[in-house]
Structure 1
Amino acid sequence: MVAEMDDFQAKDGMIRLGQLLKASGLVMTGGEAKMVLAEERVRVNGELETRRGRQLHPGDVVSLGGESVRLT
């Protein structure tokens, strides 16, 4: 089964990981974003990521569970 991937366009072309998780709907709150990152459930470009402030750039893919978002 292939995971579903959505595109997300950041206004400035760049966004921080915690902001993307919330803005894309992968999590509902900033607190939930902090929790899933602490539980090591988030991947960026296939690699585990725990830093909420990581800067993302166009082409980066963020995955949580069976959902993925590509920054455009």
Structure 2
Amino acid sequence: MHEEVQIQTDYITLGQFIKLLNILDSGGMVKAFIQDVGAVVNGELEHRRGRKLYPEDIIEIEEFGSYIVKKEA
């Protein structure tokens, strides 16, 4: 099951999303993590911090879990 992550905007970038999860300590760590490890977005490996994530996108982050983006009502 995916953990729901609520956003208030129409989209969020992958870098902002990982920072929002508080799984890494700093923006620099997020940047390095995305470049080195990446994240799986809707089944595709992604290494761009600026990748836009929209509601219902599924993000899998190695060793941290699986998440789904939801828009706050």
TM-score (norm 2): 0.81
1:20 aligned to 2:7? no
Q: What is the aligned counterpart of 2:36 among 35, 39, 42?
A: 39
Q: Runs of 5+ in structure 1 lacking a partner?
A: none
Q: Runs of 5+ in structure 2 lacking a partner?
A: none
Q: Matched residues, percent identical?
A: 33
> Which aligned runs of 4 or more in structure 1 are off by greater than 4 angstroms?
none
RMSD: 1.5
Please state whether the residue corresponding to 1:53 is helix, strand or coil: coil
Aligned length: 69
Please state whether the residue corresponding to 1:51 is helix, strand or coil: coil
* Whole-angstrom distance in 1 between the partners of 2:2 and 2:25: 18
